[in-house]
Structure 1
Amino acid sequence: MSNQPVKRGYSAATLDYVGARYLGVAEEKCSYTSQEVRIPMRDGINLVADFYNPILPNDQEPAGLLMVQCCYGRGSGISFFNARIFAARGYRVLFVSTRGTYGSEGDFNPAVNEQNDSQDIVKWMRQQPWYPGTFATLGCSYLGYSQWALLRDPPEDCIAAVIPVALHDQAWHAWGTGSFRLDRATWSDLMSRIGDESGNFLTRLANLPGLSFLRSTELDEAAAGLPLEASLKNYFNDKAPWLFDYMDHPNVDDPYWAKRRQQIALEKVNIPILLISGWYDTFTTQTMHQYKHLSDRGVNVSLIVGPWTHPQGSGLRSMPEIMDFLAEHVAKTGKYGRSKARIFITGAEDWSSLPDWPPQVPSRTLYLQTNTGIGSEQPAQDAAPSSFVFDPRNPTPSIGGNQMATGGRVDDSAYGERSDVLAFTSEPLSQDLEVIGVPSVQLSHSSDPPFADLFLRLSEVNSKGVSHNITDMYQGLDPNRDMSQPLKLNLQACAHRFRAGTRIRLVVSGGSFPMYARNLGTAEDRVSSDRTVPQKHTVSLAKGVSQLILPVSHDGASVV
């Protein structure tokens, strides 16, 4: 080890106390010391970490050891959520800066070195006199990805993991829809500014995920330029080279992505895991996949999904549950005591405890109708189709949802007023209708030219005519598809109660920008071309071929 342990000061103790009260966790058990250490990697570079050690009476042992890998620094704010709040409750914490960030040597290359580095950290921990023989992992977002990278080859002495709002598959997130996800540029902008803990606080704050509304509009302007790749390169200059590697590898099965995909961890891990997500998180779909895969294997996995965005779901709203989980599986002093799946039902604005997710419920089929209606009756054989034109030069905007920076449940009424959107809307419901699970859409759809994308959104329209988003999906379409066959598309999972008097809305558009790189309407690469062709989308309605299928747990509603 290097340096000497430093006792917690008054200002840190005050922040710890106020922060813990805000998060609703139990009182502290102790103070702690922190000590900077250096951890050697197999290739000769050293990672820098802070080791937090609780100050306990002589007859008490620490509650356990937590290992956290973080690429966002080790300053006071982020260390509170990832280390100090736990150290003050008796846990030892090793808080490590990712390779190439905040004092750790080497170059930062996202998602490439975490597998080997995490194993080397574990090897080093085992050699320390304070190592208790077992450890757990912790951390949200990219910190959660680092956990999946470790669990690709699970150490026998890793006994539990807390993984909020995290992806395990970088390729799936970047290109899984067939279009490039542009929050990779927002995140890369943050990571291109990595360095020491000095510098203007607001500058760093403005680039934290979820708070990028504080930054300048230069990146947004660059993302709007064509060709997209050239415009972003002009903005980044020589920074964030990985972003352009991502853009140049649109095939998720390309060998380039192999090290960046940790699906194998879901096949091999067999320890208690707590997964946390939000209905408006950037990685909700991946968290749901993680839960389903682990649950089907019989792994001891628990799931919490709240009405949260990415920052809210990171643990800010679920720290008491995290503490209870650690008390059972690490400290061995308590019980988690909650259902396997704890789900927030929007609309009802209440939590539901479920034995599993998604629940087995019946489905309700509604039909898209002429004059952009939705109802229980099938349209006639001669029902006229509906159509719209998507213009890549004036793309349909992203409004709320699962965006990194400006996501959430928002007023998306603007979609109903745009000419490049079809907003199929029901009559007011006569009774409550609770949708819980994975809604799907069968769509008889064609486009001219065949190069096109689809954005679908389920929303609720209240009695005042104001629409709010519930869930959505995006899909780049195969230009060689058989347009005579209906598309079958799953939206992201949701849990929402439509109250009596509200209306169901299905939004259909050809894009969602800047959440996804727009389809240019040509056979040319969407990130390297600047040639655009407007795309006419046509949705056939005859005899109910286009449908909205809802999984419902409470169905007393009449939809005409």
Structure 2
Amino acid sequence: MTGQPVKRSFAGASLDYLGARYVGAGPEACSYTTQAIEIPMTDGVKLAADYYAPELPDNQKSAGLIMIQCCYGRGSGISFINARIFAARGYQALFVSTRGTYGSEGTFDPGSNEQSDSQDIVAWMRQQPWYPGSFATLGASYLGYSQWALLHDPPADCVAAVIPVGPHDQAWHAWGTGSFRLDRASWSDLMSKCDEEKGSFLSRLANIPGLSFLRSSELEEAVAGLPLEASLQKYFGDKAPWLFEYLKHPNVDDDYWTPRRHHIALQRANIPILLISGWYDTFTTQTMHQFKHLRGRGVNVNLVVGPWTHVQGSGLYSMPEILDFLSEHVAKTEDARSNREVGVPHARQARIFITGSQEWRSMPTWPPDTRPKTLYLQENNGIGPGPPVLDTSPASFVFDPLNPTPSIGGNQMSSGGRVDDSAYAKRSDVLAFTSEPLSEDLEILGIPSVRLIHTSDPPFADLFIRLSEVDTHGVSHNITEIYQVLDPSRDTSKPLNLDLQDCAHRFRVGTRMRLIVAGGSFPMYARSLGTDEDRLRSDKTTPQKHTITIAGGVSQLVLPTTSAV
């Protein structure tokens, strides 16, 4: 069933105008109409969609067609950033609700149907009288995942893609560290209520106090309960069945994850792609992997990374780049707005925000050429350029699963970001190795790494490592981090090598570096219980004593510094 085209209302035009000013989109080119549509899938399911058509003179063609797949509804807030803003600038837009959400038939099973459904949508588009012969894709987060699912088998008429903060591999996010990522529970809570609650996804999200990691005190209690799986089952009941499938499949190579992993898209995609991320996004590692892989294949890929969280990186602060990219690769016009403050992406270029110096910088690729600078863990929780003497005592702490080290900022889904994490240095279950004030600026661009001689008793343990900066007032702020479940059978006489997440930061004169080492980050990750039992299905816990050998400089922090430093 297809509805009649509806002209934009005065209220809609006012919202579009105010929203465009907020995101820096520049002036509109036209008004538009919206038409409700049902799109048939090959299995008989019908997906609900809205088709946006720009109102243009008879002799003027549209700037191109943009296809968006979304599981968060098609209300005014989310349709503005994904469809209406482009329709008002001459683009057609097809905004489709994911199977099982917001009017679309079928059952929502995250990641399992996007590959086939997206191909069906494309086949249906080609039969429509308004189809211009080619299209681009767009959308952030899960909408970006849907694009990677389509690019698993790239259609010949797909000419470009805009993918902000979008993962290509659901298994990597859920289980890539070896521990379950607990934001899957809060996200599942939101998605399980998409049909029973009034209002759009964005309006419901806005009602969560402070956009906190957990939706409610009840969910907070469920995540804290042991055994974890049973506690979550009591909270969810028969809702969000996919969450419990996630819990059943901790092996990322399990067949369950195969349709939810799209690494092959990185091998097959050969169209211009704009990737957008934030240093504090929950999917930063995947976006950086996407860029490096595509760049290595010679694909025309652009990268923009700002000082953003997941929500901020979804397009709110990068709309000028998105419009310029579409203008160049979809509309193929010459009116790129090159005088934008943050600049215009060009082929195979990275546009990177350097924290610390608070500046944007363009570079031909990422990471740039750097040279390693090795710092050594010192006695008395210091860190510096010279290795300590051979009789330096080891450093240790105890992680208690019943009082786990808290998650503070960082790459969390909604409550992360750059924060004051000074509290870590005051905790007895954290080691905070801090340098002396720097005598000159030190800039790092790329992936810092740590090399530790580390043991734990018992051997069933995790490590959370963070690099932070302590300012001249003694306040610490996070830069980059890593979480990893340790192999209990590893040879602890050999160094444990861990790469942190990509970062770009300039430590200013007078600031200090701080390396934070802990045994957990909760509720970001399911905590280690310290036993050989399943951390999801056991309520038995044992405190874990972590010991790091410092003597002789065997435990190190290696920084990727610029050649100018």
TM-score, normalized by length of structure 2?
A: 0.96
Are the counterparts in 2 of residues 433 and 554 from structure 1 also a CA contact under 8 Å?
no
Q: 1:481 aligns with which of 484, 490, 494?
A: 490
Look up the match of 1:32. Answer: 32
| Cα distance in 2 between the residues matched to 1:202 and 1:380 | 56
Per-residue Cα deviation, 1:345-364 (whole angstroms, up to 9, x for no partner): 00000101111000011110
Alpha-carbon separation, structure 1, partners of 2:63 and 2:541: 60
Q: Deviations over 1:19-77 (max 9, x none)?
A: 00111112000000000000000110100100000000111000000000000000010
Instruction: Render the CA deviation track for 1:516-552: whole Å, top value 9, x for unaligned.
Output: 0001001111111110010000000111000000001
Q: Which residue is 2:15 aligned to?
A: 15
CA RMSD of aligned residues (A): 1.5
Written as runs of structure 1 = structure 2, the 5 A alignment for 1:72-151 is: 72-151=72-151
SS at match of 2:305: strand
**1:207/1:215 contact within 8 Å kept:** no
Q: How far apart, in 2, do the equivalents of 1:89 and 1:462 lie?
A: 44
How far 1:226 sits from its partner (Å)? 0.5
Q: Residue 189 and residue 214 in structure 1: after superposition, are their counterparts in 2 closer, same or farther (change >3 A)?
A: closer
C-alpha distance in structure 2 between counterparts of 1:5 and 1:347, whole Å: 50
1:338 equivalenced with 2:338 (yes/no): no
Q: Distance in 1 between matches of 2:122 and 2:209?
A: 28
Whether the aligned pair in 2 keeps the contact of 1:281 and 1:313 (CA below 8 Å) is: yes
- Compare 337-346 and 19-28 and name the one that shifted more: 337-346
Partner of 2:341: none
Question: What's the counterpart of residue 314 of structure 1?
Answer: 314
Secondary structure of the 1:371 match is helix
Q: Which residue of 2 aligns with 1:41?
A: 41
Q: Distance in 2 between matches of 1:208 and 1:363?
A: 43
TM-superposed deviation, 1:198: 3.4
* Paired residues of 1:206 and 1:215 also in contact (CA < 8 A): no
Task: Say if 1:200 and 1:490 are closer, same or farther in 2 by CA, change over 3 A.
Answer: closer
Report Cα offsets for 1:272-308 as digits up to 9, x if no partner: 0000000000000000000000000000000000000
Given that 1:368 and 1:374 are in contact with CA atoms closer than 8 Å, whether structure 2 keeps it comes out as yes
**1:191-340 counterparts in 2 under 5 A?**
191-195=191-195, 198-199=198-199, 204-206=204-206, 211-212=211-212, 215-334=215-334, 335=336, 337-339=344-346, 340=349
Following superposition of structure 1 onto structure 2, how do residues 365-514 of structure 1 map, counting pairs within 5 Å?
A: 365-514=374-523
- 2:561 is aligned with what amino acid? V
Report if the CA contact (8 A) 2:213-2:413 is conserved. Answer: no
CA distance in 2 between partners of 1:555 and 1:369 (Å): 27
Q: Deviations over 1:138-196 (max 9, x none)?
A: 00000000000000000000000000001100000000000000000011011001127
The Cα of 1:317 is off from its aligned counterpart by 0.2
**Residue 383 of structure 1, CA deviation:** 1.0
1:352 aligned onto 2:389: no
Instruction: Specify the alignment match of 1:531 in structure 2.
Output: 540
Partner Cα distance (2:445, 2:61) in 1: 44
The question of whether the paired residues in 1 share the 8 Å contact of 2:75 and 2:200 is answered with no
| Cα drift, residue 554 of structure 1 | 6.0
**In 1: Cα distance, 2:407 partner to 2:214 partner:** 18
Structure 1 counterpart SS, 2:345: coil
SS in 2 for 1:331: coil
| Residue correspondences, number | 556
One-letter amino acid of the structure 1 residue matched with residue 101 of structure 2:
T
Letter in 1 for 2:437: P
**DSSP 3-state at the match of 1:185:** helix
Deviation, 1:381, is: 1.0
What is the one-letter code of the residue matched to 2:271? I
Q: Distance in 2 between matches of 1:141 and 1:201?
A: 14
Paired residues of 1:190 and 1:208 also in contact (CA < 8 A): no
Q: State the distance in 2 between where 1:62 and 1:207 align.
A: 37
Q: By how many angstroms is 1:197 displaced?
A: 8.0
Identical aligned residues as a percent? 72
Q: For residue 346 of structure 1, what is the amino acid of its counterpart?
A: T
31 and 71 in structure 1: CA distance in 2 versus 1, 3 angstrom threshold? same
User: Residue type of the partner of 1:67?
Assistant: M
Q: Deviations over 1:331-370 (max 9, x none)?
A: 0113484350000000000101111000011110000011
Q: Partner amino acid for 2:165?
A: V
Contact 2:23 2:316 in 1 (8 A): yes
The answer on whether the counterparts of 1:280 and 1:307 sit within 8 Å (CA) in structure 2 is yes
CA contact 2:189–2:215 (8 Å) conserved in 1? no
Structure 2 Cα separation of the partners of residues 205 and 411 of structure 1 = 24
Q: 1:188 maps to which residue?
A: 188
Q: CA deviation at 1:216?
A: 2.5
Q: What TM-score, normalized to structure 1?
A: 0.97
Structure 2 unpaired stretches of 5+: 339-343
**Distance in 2 between the 1:148 and 1:200 partners?**
25
What are structure 1's unaligned runs of at least 5 residues?
Answer: none
Alpha-carbon separation, structure 1, partners of 2:196 and 2:537: 34
1:468/1:303 CA distance change after superposition, 3 Å: same
CA distance in 1, matches of 2:214, 2:389: 51
- The 1:411/1:196 distance shift into structure 2, 3 A limit, reads same
CA displacement at 1:214 relative to structure 2: 8.9
- Aligned in 2, Cα 1:292/1:319: closer, same or farther, shift over 3 Å? same
CA distance in 1, matches of 2:209, 2:255: 28
CA distance in 2, matches of 1:518, 1:338: 41
Shift of 1:205: 2.7
3-state SS of 1:68 partner = strand
- Partners of 1:338 and 1:437 in 2: CA distance: 20
Distance 1:407 1:537, change over 3 A: same
**CA drift at 1:199:** 4.2
Using the TM superposition, name which of 194-203 and 121-130 deviates more: 194-203
Query: 1:6 matched to which residue of 2?
Result: 6
Q: Check whether the contact 2:183–2:213 (CA below 8 A) recurs between aligned residues.
A: no
SS in 1 for 2:274: strand
